[in-house]
Structure 1
């Protein structure tokens, strides 16, 4: 609100050549409190007004007047604005207390639907740390979307089809042992898949065997289908254990194979639009006009490729959900693929094709290199989660051995640590796997935020705080940083959604936690003449901490 008021006044003072949006974009938030709460730099005005920035600042500052401005100071080429702390605090706290559960909720997405393609592990392969990113980023984006008023549909598009499964079937025929696979399906299937990959380097004919088995699968060969279904069911059962630990569920779990008998309709549509072109025995859609390589639709041996299935899936999803946006939370190495998919759909004259958005993210690296199942270089997510929970249990046992529900809280803390370690990074950056960094319970971590929330909740309990006793009148300058952060929460939510960037929420939560701990260290909260007012501020902080953690898919324990 304050930035909009300031931008409106400045635009009016400066004249029609300086529109409000342009002015708003220049307004800064000073890092140092003695420089004010907001600042406007006048340097870009010097050429137009033929005056120094300092002169312009001195002329404009006295003209800025509003009840939200406590003081306006020209300092060099800047106009520094100090806000009316009492007015802002009262307005913010009244707004939050009116409906704490809805604070920060926005309505610009009301009546619209967003479909998210996320997680998407491959069957018969371990759920590795490499799959964590799509899963937790996708879940956080779904939560952000709902916070902004959208209906969301979370789809786990399981990788259960393609040439790699032909390789797996061929590998099982050569080296598979039914008893071993039934006892430990993922581990055994991964072992023979890796063995197949290594053996094919010496014997390239194995690749042809893999293609042959995939062709059998496409043609619904009884043995191929029976094995494939067994591998799929066993995999889904293992995946569900991971999702339960992460606290993530889906509106729809569907594999690529679901579209096996529906791809012919897509291919016929492409034919009707005269978009299919023969190329060395295969069929492609040319995309020369947009500077992209051809999109392969059917291979020379007649089998389909995942582009064919993704086209079919996109059409099916729109028919079912009439989405306003479809977000594909998939690593950046698939950028070209999604550019091709969108362009092919546009050439097929689907008006909704521009609403498909690839949300890329960096890789999870190990020792600076991409993790790879076929090379046997993976870190299993389930093992990491269990290790995180074990360390949390030890930490609780050392610091709070009498804590009730210690096992449940250890799980919330351990799992939260793993999720936050991913989401605190800009999603576009690669993340180096480090168990030590991930499971540190101090610094820029989820346990630090969770502990802050628990400490604040403990104060509220000790002070017997009740909403009906809340006090919004404000005369506590030390609490001002917390008030500003609470007030800014809806803006952070909106920016995180618009940039598809959960790390903005993570960074906000760290800032809010630091602000509380600094306040806690300097202020006597209980048994003071301002106890209720200070507890009201702390209650407001717990609201945004809990809500922000929930958006990231992390629990906020009341005790630790």
Structure 2
């Protein structure tokens, strides 16, 4: 049902097979204005090849191309403009959506290949802040898209549960902590201690040295250090699970940085055996003379390991465990250099599978134009934002539909959906200014707008007592509003493929907004229930809308209530 492919096949024959078919597909575009057709093929590049004006080539092609799928083919300037046959295309599109239901748009591009996805990855003993929202929802959407395209995603929550910061936290707890207070409100109290440590360390720099000493004890499995660390980790996971439950996100592995503590020496040994390690100021590094990259630090001068050491151990473990074809790291833009170094070390180690590794960067959530900082206590808690969104959704429901039976369930779906959609509608590499007011808007280009459109369409089906009959699908209307909906429905499989290829969920979010707008115009302009002769045909179109909106929202990790 990709009419670009059909047109490219006909162009290939008309041009005597002299041009690459993939190139022809790439040239086909959508005209800027609907009166110029549904597909357009620019002939300017062919002009060089055939030594003729593009207008002449367009006229010649218009005379050669015929298909029952095309209502009209005409030359306009240097373009070949194609008008699809509304009747036959509408029937094919609706038939495909209704027959395939939630599998509409599913493909097997991935061929069952395993893709590990490293996302969310909050630091233990710190609150789950808005700063972790992006990695969490972008990673989840990418996993859902990969699954839709025939890959086997493995969702990994690579918890930040190791490193010098835990030495610092242990020092802070031992100096100023109170066990009872921490037990009553673990994350809040541990954050206070962490912030206090950094405030005090500015006055007394020796505290940083003590923090390093306690982290070294952790690495050496000191009983007291391990006991405190396990307590902090356990309490953190309980808190994180509340947020993941609200967002409806699951993981296949919670192996954090600490899991690789006993696997890092093997990596160091391999690097040593391959003569890749060099000494610099007492530290062990890998240099990249052939690339314009700074050295990658593997071991500090005091013998402690770093992010790179653990990431190398994790990558090797994941390849041995999952045999992935691709391994994705959903981590902020600011870590780009780290990933270039880390991937380059794997390449130097001779691992061919390093080609399958990719850093999927994203921008930050800013507050007043600045990055949120845990060290300085400038944190907005994600759980609080989600709960506030859910409460606001419930208030809206009570005002607009007080008799709704499943108020709590719908409020949960709408509140969390508002937060997730607000993030995913932006291209991932752009920064987003944190504004609770904007995130919780229920009008405009928002998640609740798409969800409400879905609920409105479901309401029409109930009122019209619609019963699905695949065999009797026949689109009777040829008006602009109906055709605009059909064209949007037809795009869904292509949008899924492109969003997956580019790891860009915003393409799905933007598509859902466009589909919702086209349906709402259709709803306002066409008598859907008042014309008995055409009612079933029109409700079939409405039914198709509900299928695609629900599936599109699912791919973003958002639920689609049938009533709101």
Deviations 1:421-476 (A, max 9, x none): 00001011111111111100001100000000001011111112122366322221
Aligned to 2:440: 439
Measure how far apart 1:291 and its partner are: 2.1
Aligned to 2:362: 361
Aligned to 1:313: 314
Measure how far apart 1:7 and its partner are: 1.8
**Which stretch shows the higher mean deviation, 92-101 or 238-247?**
92-101
Distance 1:253 1:48 in 2: 56
Aligned to 2:556: 552
Deviations 1:203-245 (A, max 9, x none): 1111111111111111111111111111111111100100000
Measure how far apart 1:298 and its partner are: 0.6
Distance 1:327 1:68 in 2: 40
**Which stretch shows the higher mean deviation, 294-303 or 72-81?**
72-81
Aligned to 2:403: 402
Deviations 1:397-435 (A, max 9, x none): 111111111111011000000000000010111111111
Measure how far apart 1:109 and its partner are: 1.3
Aligned to 1:37: 38
Aligned to 1:267: 268
Aligned to 1:166: 167
Q: How does 1:183-262 map to 2 (within 5 A)?
A: 183-262=184-263
Measure how far apart 1:58 and its partner are: 2.4
Measure how far apart 1:111 and its partner are: 2.4
Contact 2:102 2:548 in 1 (8 A): no
Contact 1:423 1:552 in 2 (8 A): yes
Aligned to 2:27: 26
Contact 1:471 1:536 in 2 (8 A): no
Match of 1:485 among 488, 494, 497: 488
**Which stretch shows the higher mean deviation, 544-553 or 4-13?**
4-13
Q: How does 1:92-491 map to 2 (within 5 A)?
A: 92-468=93-469, 471-477=472-478, 478-491=481-494
Contact 2:99 2:470 in 1 (8 A): no
Measure how far apart 1:42 and its partner are: 2.4
Measure how far apart 1:488 and its partner are: 1.5
Aligned to 1:536: 540
Count of equivalent residues: 560
Measure how far apart 1:268 and its partner are: 1.2
Measure how far apart 1:53 and its partner are: 3.2
Distance 1:404 1:549 in 2: 22
Measure how far apart 1:32 and its partner are: 2.2
Contact 1:469 1:532 in 2 (8 A): no
Distance 1:14 1:369 in 2: 56
Aligned to 2:504: 501
Distance 1:252 1:28 in 2: 42
Distance 2:110 2:468 in 1: 30
Distance 1:278 1:317 in 2: 28
Distance 1:436 1:420 in 2: 14
Measure how far apart 1:10 and its partner are: 2.2
Measure how far apart 1:98 and its partner are: 2.4
- The 3-state SS of whatever aligns with 2:249 is coil
Distance 2:102 2:27 in 1: 33
- The 3-state SS of whatever aligns with 1:244 is helix
Match of 1:518 among 518, 521, 528: 521
Contact 1:89 1:472 in 2 (8 A): no
- The 3-state SS of whatever aligns with 2:123 is coil
Measure how far apart 1:523 and its partner are: 0.4
Contact 2:117 2:330 in 1 (8 A): yes
Structure 1 residue runs without a partner (length 5+):
none
Aligned to 2:61: 60
Structure 2 residue runs without a partner (length 5+):
none
Contact 1:116 1:329 in 2 (8 A): yes
Distance 1:180 1:254 in 2: 29
Distance 1:261 1:74 in 2: 68
Distance 1:363 1:156 in 2: 19
Deviations 1:28-70 (A, max 9, x none): 1123221110112223334444544333322321222111111
Contact 1:470 1:532 in 2 (8 A): no
Change in Cα spacing, 1:356 to 1:47, as seen in structure 2 (3 Å) is closer
Distance 1:503 1:43 in 2: 32
Deviations 1:265-315 (A, max 9, x none): 111111121211111111111122222111111100011111111110111
Contact 1:471 1:532 in 2 (8 A): no
- Give the TM-score normalised by the residue count of structure 2: 0.97
Change in Cα spacing, 1:484 to 1:179, as seen in structure 2 (3 Å) is same
- The 3-state SS of whatever aligns with 1:352 is helix
Contact 1:114 1:323 in 2 (8 A): yes
Change in Cα spacing, 1:469 to 1:493, as seen in structure 2 (3 Å) is closer
Measure how far apart 1:525 and its partner are: 0.6
Change in Cα spacing, 1:110 to 1:45, as seen in structure 2 (3 Å) is closer
